[in-house]
């Protein structure tokens, strides 16, 4: 426990300005009908996630351009905690002009950063982080349903009936946030929030995943003295991501933008990093000059002088 834990931090007035205003007036709230979709030059795709029984139901409305698979418009309807409005609203904004197959690739971190008022203050208290997980799970499932990808059966098992959360989601969340306790799993997924009996099931999953993670860490962990060029591309990606998180991302997010890594390619002695700008960065005049140099410089200073950054 900690002082913050003892003080409790789930007060309605504690949310940042951005989250507050999205709770009050979400921009992308409401249904889209088929006619509206046609006018926008796409087909309507509706996906329902969750149910009132499990405290959260998200209905996503996408207008998808059939020829390119691009989401022209994205809106949502919600039955659930008002805080979830903010997460879903932001996710709808981020989904616009993306291809459906790119939706599951939106990272938790970027969504969370977009909800922040300033780079250093987290947008939501830990107990409300589940709203982001739910929004992202709903969108990823919608994308899979659209693309008719069938997920594996075991991952589909619902662990806690009270929250309707699938096993895969819990596993992903443990890895993503490096969770170590079942209470944390509850904060990030709401599984076990009300039905305390599923703590045992969550504990089992936690043990299995932590064991797997420890095993993987033993093989993936890079000694600090390994030169950047000799790392595998997964290791490189992890290093680049950590540098971007530490030195770059908060500047972009503060201006309402963000970036994501699309690909890494070895090009002779150079490592080419393909990135895509998001939000306000996309189309910003500085994106191909100052910002780009800042990103490249940070990577060059902290990782390897032969990294080149290429915005798409």
Of 193 and 298, CB closest to other proteins = 193
**127 is a site residue for other proteins (CB under 8 A):** yes
Q: Which residue(s) pair with 283 in the sheet?
A: none
What is the spatial order of strands in the sheet that 257-267 belongs to? 257-267, 270-279, 307-311
Q: Is 78 helix (H, G, I), strand (E, B) or coil?
A: strand
Question: Which residue from 164, 161, 197, 166 is spatially nearest to 182, judged by alpha carbons?
Answer: 197
**158 is a site residue for other proteins (CB under 8 A):** no
> Segment 174-233, which members bind other proteins (CB under 8 A)?
190, 193-194, 196
> Which window, 48-56, 239-247, 264-272, 290-298, contacts other proteins (CB under 8 A)?
48-56
Q: Measured from the CB of residue 54, what is the shortest distance to other proteins in angstroms?
A: 8
Q: Measured from the CB of residue 33, what is the shortest distance to other proteins in angstroms?
A: 8
188 burial level (CB within 10 Å; 0-12, 13-18, 19+): buried
User: Residues in contact with other proteins, total (CB under 8 A)?
Assistant: 25
Cβ atoms of 99 and 70 within 8 Å: the answer is yes
Of 47 and 239, CB closest to other proteins = 47
Q: Measured from the CB of residue 20, what is the shortest distance to other proteins in angstroms?
A: 11
Rounded Cα–Cα distance for residues 54 and 278 (Å): 33
Binding string, residues 4-43; x marks residues near other proteins by CB under 8 A = ------x-x----------x-----xxx------------
> Segment 59-98, which members bind other proteins (CB under 8 A)?
59, 77-82
Question: Is residue 258 within a helix (H) or strand (E), and if so which, with residue range?
Answer: strand 257-267
End-to-end CA distance of the chain: 44
Q: Measured from the CB of residue 71, what is the shortest distance to other proteins in angstroms?
A: 19
Q: Measured from the CB of residue 28, what is the shortest distance to other proteins in angstroms?
A: 12
DSSP string, 5-61: HHH----GGGS-HHHHHHHHS-TTBS---HHHHHHTTSEEEEEEEEEGGGTEEEEEE
Cβ atoms of 309 and 295 within 8 Å: the answer is yes
> Which window, 53-61, 114-122, 213-221, 295-303, contacts other proteins (CB under 8 A)?
53-61
Of 79 and 251, CB closest to other proteins = 79
Of 194 and 293, CB closest to other proteins = 194
Q: Measured from the CB of residue 173, what is the shortest distance to other proteins in angstroms?
A: 17
Rounded Cα–Cα distance for residues 168 and 158 (Å): 9
Q: Measured from the CB of residue 39, what is the shortest distance to other proteins in angstroms?
A: 18
Cβ atoms of 31 and 59 within 8 Å: the answer is yes
- The site for other proteins (CB under 8 A) is made up of 10, 12, 23, 29-31, 46, 48, 51-53, 55, 57, 59, 77-82, 127, 190, 193-194, 196
């Amino acid at each position: 426990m900690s002082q913050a834990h003892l003080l409790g931090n789930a007060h309605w007035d504690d949310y940042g300005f951005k989250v507050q205003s999205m709770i009050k007036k979400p921009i992308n709230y409401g249904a889209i009908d088929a006619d509206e979709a046609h006018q926008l030059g796409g087909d309507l795709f509706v996906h329902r996630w969750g149910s009132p029984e499990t405290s959260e139901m998200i209905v996503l409305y996408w207008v998808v351009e059939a020829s390119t698979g691009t989401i022209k418009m994205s809106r949502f309807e919600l039955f659930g905690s008002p805080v979830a409005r903010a997460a879903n609203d932001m996710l709808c904004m981020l989904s616009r002009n993306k291809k459906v197959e790119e939706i599951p690739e939106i990272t938790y971190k970027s969504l969370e950063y977009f909800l922040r008022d300033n780079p250093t203050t987290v947008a939501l208290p830990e107990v409300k982080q589940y709203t982001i997980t739910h929004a992202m799970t709903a969108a990823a499932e919608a994308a899979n349903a659209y693309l008719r990808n069938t997920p594996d059966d075991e991952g589909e098992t619902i662990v806690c009936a009270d929250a309707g959360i699938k096993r895969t989601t819990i596993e992903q969340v443990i890895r993503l946030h490096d969770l170590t306790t079942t209470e944390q799993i509850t904060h990030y997924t709401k599984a076990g929030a009300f039905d305390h009996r599923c703590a045992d099931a969550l504990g089992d999953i936690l043990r299995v995943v932590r064991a797997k993670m420890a095993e993987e860490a033993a093989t993936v962990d890079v000694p600090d003295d390994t030169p950047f060029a000799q790392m595998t591309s997964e290791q490189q990606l992890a290093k680049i991501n950590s540098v971007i998180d530490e030195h770059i991302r908060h500047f972009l997010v503060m201006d309402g933008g963000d970036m994501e890594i699309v690909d890494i390619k070895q090009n002779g002695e150079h490592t080419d990093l393909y990135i895509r700008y998001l939000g306000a960065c996309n189309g910003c005049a500085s994106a191909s000059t100052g910002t780009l140099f800042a990103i490249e410089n940070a990577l060059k200073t902290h990782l390897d002088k032969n990294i080149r950054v290429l915005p798409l």
